[in-house]
Structure 1
Amino acid sequence: MLKINVGFVIFPDLTQLDFTGPQQVLARLPNSAMHIVAKSASPVPSDSGLGLVPTHTFQTCPQLDLLCVPGGGSGVVQALNDADLVAFVRGQAAGARYVTSVCTGAFILGVAGLLEGRRATTHWAFTDLLPLVGATHEKARVVKDGNVTTAGGVTSGIDFGLHMVSEIAGAAVAQAIQLGLEYDPSPPFDTGHPDRAPPAVATLVAQRNINARAAFRAALASARAAP
């Protein structure tokens, strides 16, 4: 049986948990090979200071069966106008069985033309920008539309990873991975989504995202205008 090639596209200043959460889950997918792909073979800095080491470059990466693009604030803003990265995502998606993203990585799929007419999700603070890439927001932690699956913000990448394992290898395998990772969240506060967070907390976080949203709008407009 041929191995399933799983690949994550990484870029400077990505949110490391967007990548490492689902990567840890999908690394346990039976009969799979993991590929960490970047523009060059040099270590890639994440937004938390953790350096990430690629296993492949755009030139050496084989055709992926599952392509995943993580997100990140300033990292995605820069990546949206990286023609080589967007071309790599578009080219790999053409031959992939599963085209996926976590958090604001959805916008990289979007500028590659992969969300046009699809239902999708992303980090809650940026969901209203999805129409700028032709997508319709669906309020869910993980959204599947055809062969495209998008996940919400950051930690939803773990849920996404389990969804993908279940789809590829069955629910029993996904459940075993969940148990092995002891993924049994019980956070001290029920404030993980603005629907449940106290208004003052939601407002504070929303204010912090004002500049990021403006940067996303500008980057999307530039990327969509590019030939």
Structure 2
Amino acid sequence: MTPCFDRSSAVTKATPMNVGIFLFPGMTMMDAYAPLQVLALSESFTVFTFAATTEPLACDAGVMLMPQYGFSNLPEIDVLLVPGGANPETQMQDPLVLAVLRKLGQRAKYVTSVCTGALILAQTGLLDGYRTTVHWAYSEALTRFPKVIHDDGRLVHDRNRISGGGITAGLDFALYLIGEIGGRSEGAAMELLLEYAPQPPFACGHPSQAPLPLRQALQEKVINMAKGLFD
């Protein structure tokens, strides 16, 4: 029997969509690279990373990331993906970053985010009038943008805007996008290929499941890490 992930047996599909994933210093690597790994396995997409320049940059885990493109030589982007980080304030205050992302988002078929990437997109104005989700501990920061409608879902799809909540929601986002573009059967096959059947050991991955003292401690930690977002 031919494995479900054997590309050689796949029926020829339409031209793959270009997914451009924005990288920036201090970002949370999993926000970007979890979706990248999933989407790169799908024939529906061509996935690449980009940043202001192609110089290596450090993520919040200290690992150096290598953007494939800079702002000056970007290919066409069909799906713009903006990941987050503990404090994306620097990106949110960078005029060049905002101008480039705004221009890309205005031309893209889909504008998407994971975690606090929603805050960066909100700053560009690309989320005005749209529902979006964000990491639960940053929901208050999203109130800085009254034209953006906060939705606390793990995954939110509003017209051509798709957002994933905190960090691991990037996996759900990527599988959903595959189903949206490549069809439900492709999304299901990818979920099986990746053996994506989470069984979290502590069952407190959502704030509604976690004890109040733990939620409060983590919220305080987030506010201390990203004070500018909560002022």
TM > 0.5 between the two? Answer: yes
Which of 113, 124, 134 matches 1:112?
124
Q: Verify: 1:79 aligned to 2:91, yes or no.
A: yes
Structure 2 SS opposite 1:73: coil
CA distance in 2: counterparts of 1:9 and 1:179, whole angstroms: 27
CA distance in 1: counterparts of 2:136 and 2:95, whole angstroms: 26
- Runs of 4+ aligned structure 1 residues displaced above 4 Å come to none
Residue identity (%) = 38
Q: Which residue does 2:142 correspond to in 1? A: 130
Q: Which has the larger radius of gyration?
A: 2
Could you tell me the TM-score, scaled by structure 2's length? Answer: 0.90
Q: How does 1:15-164 map to 2 (within 5 A)?
A: 15-74=28-87, 76-133=88-145, 134-164=147-177
Unaligned runs of 5+ in 2: 1-13
Structure 2 SS opposite 1:14: coil
Which of 162, 180, 187 matches 1:174?
187
Alignment length, in residue pairs? 217
- What is the RMSD of the two structures over their aligned residues, measured on CA atoms? 1.3
Structure with more helix by fraction: 1
Q: Which residue does 1:222 correspond to in 2? A: none
CA distance in 2: counterparts of 1:87 and 1:201, whole angstroms: 38
Structure 1 SS opposite 2:143: helix
Q: Which residue does 1:211 correspond to in 2? A: 224
CA distance in 1: counterparts of 2:228 and 2:204, whole angstroms: 26
Contact between 1:67 and 1:99, CA under 8 Å: does it hold in 2? yes
CA distance in 1: counterparts of 2:126 and 2:228, whole angstroms: 21
Q: Which residue does 1:224 correspond to in 2? A: none
Which AA in structure 2 matches 1:154?
I
Structure 1 SS opposite 2:156: strand
CA deviation string 1:136-159 (max 9, x = no partner) = 111210111111111100000100
CA distance in 2: counterparts of 1:198 and 1:131, whole angstroms: 24
Contact between 1:128 and 1:137, CA under 8 Å: does it hold in 2? no
What is the Cα deviation at residue 31 of structure 1? 4.0
Which of 197, 200, 204 matches 1:191?
204
What is the Cα deviation at residue 213 of structure 1? 4.6
CA distance in 1: counterparts of 2:140 and 2:132, whole angstroms: 11
Contact between 2:140 and 2:230, CA under 8 Å: does it hold in 1? no
What is the Cα deviation at residue 62 of structure 1? 1.4
Q: Which residue does 2:11 correspond to in 1? A: none
Structure 2 SS opposite 1:33: strand
Which AA in structure 2 matches 1:153?
G
Q: Which residue does 2:9 correspond to in 1? A: none
